[in-house]
Amino acid sequence: MNSSLAKTSPFIDIKINSDELYLPALLFTDKKPRTLTKQDIVSIEAKWNYNYDTIDDSIGRTTKRSHLISLVFNTTKGQSIALSHWSVDSEALVYSLLKYQYPVSLDRTSEMVYPFKRHIGLMVGLFIVIVIINASNLPNLISSFNS
């Protein structure tokens, strides 16, 4: 039986071969593993988008890489099993699914890969605006101390 491993962390692996897909217990809140046969899977919906990642050993240089946002396994039993991009090595997983000819649809989305980047950017921007406003009031503050 030839199979591929999609590393999810040092402790858990998603196992894929031409007949079935094993999803380990640590991916789920109920801590129960799932094994899906290829015949059980109606479709696998993969949403992805680009992100700019920094290049190791290069200050300020980035590269555009594709990242998985979400992955949903739809089964013949009407069940949908969703995995977040935080829980899987998306590149290896999608490669293995395609290698074994699972029914994967790759759809690009406008969702951000790491939405917290936007929140951090907004916080930094707000901080800069507050500093500028306070700096413009600094002469009035100094003159009020001199009076």
Read off the pLDDT band of 44 (50, 70, 90): very high
Q: Where are the alpha helices (DSSP H) in the chain?
A: 90-99, 116-136, 138-146
CATH of the domain at 9: 2.30.29
Q: Describe the chain by its helix, strand, coil percentages, rounded to 5.
A: 30, 40, 30
> 105 and 36 in one domain?
yes
Q: What percent of the chain has pLDDT over 70?
A: 63
What is the residue-averaged pLDDT of the chain?
75
Bridge partners of residue 43, in order along the sequence? 74
Assess contact for 50 and 24: CB atoms under 8 A: no
Q: Are residues 60 and 43 in the same domain?
A: yes
Pair 52, 98 in one domain? yes
Same domain (yes/no): 43, 85: yes
Instruction: Round to whole Å and give the CA distance between 82 and 78.
Output: 13
44 vs 127: which has the higher pLDDT: 44
Long-range contact set of residues 59-62: C-beta below 8 Å, sequence gap at least 24 = none
Residue 1 has pLDDT above 50, yes or no: no
Provide the pLDDT for residue 100: 94
Same domain, yes or no: 73 and 144: no
pLDDT value, residue 132: 76
The total of structural domains in the chain comes to 2
Q: Are residues 122 and 93 in the same domain?
A: no
Same domain, 91 and 136: no
**How many Å apart are CA 53 and CA 60, to the nearest integer?**
10
Question: CA–CA separation, 91 vs 67, rounded Å?
Answer: 7
Average pLDDT of 112-117? Answer: 56
Tell me the residue range of the domain where 131 lies: 115-147
Query: Same domain for 77 and 126?
Result: no
Instruction: Give the tokens for residue 144.
Output: 């009020």
Q: How confident is the model at residue 31 (pLDDT cuts 50, 70, 90)?
A: confident
Q: Are residues 99 and 125 both part of a single domain?
A: no
Q: Looking at residue 11, what is its pLDDT? A: 43
Are 91 and 124 members of one domain? Answer: no
Average confidence (pLDDT) over 22-45: 88
Higher per-residue confidence, 37 vs 55: 37
Strands (E), 76-112: 80-84, 104-108
Entry pTM: 0.60
Under 8 Å CB-to-CB from 83, ≥6 apart: which residues? 23, 27, 70, 71, 72, 73
* Same domain assignment for residues 64 and 29: yes
For residues 107 and 119, membership in a common domain is answered with: no
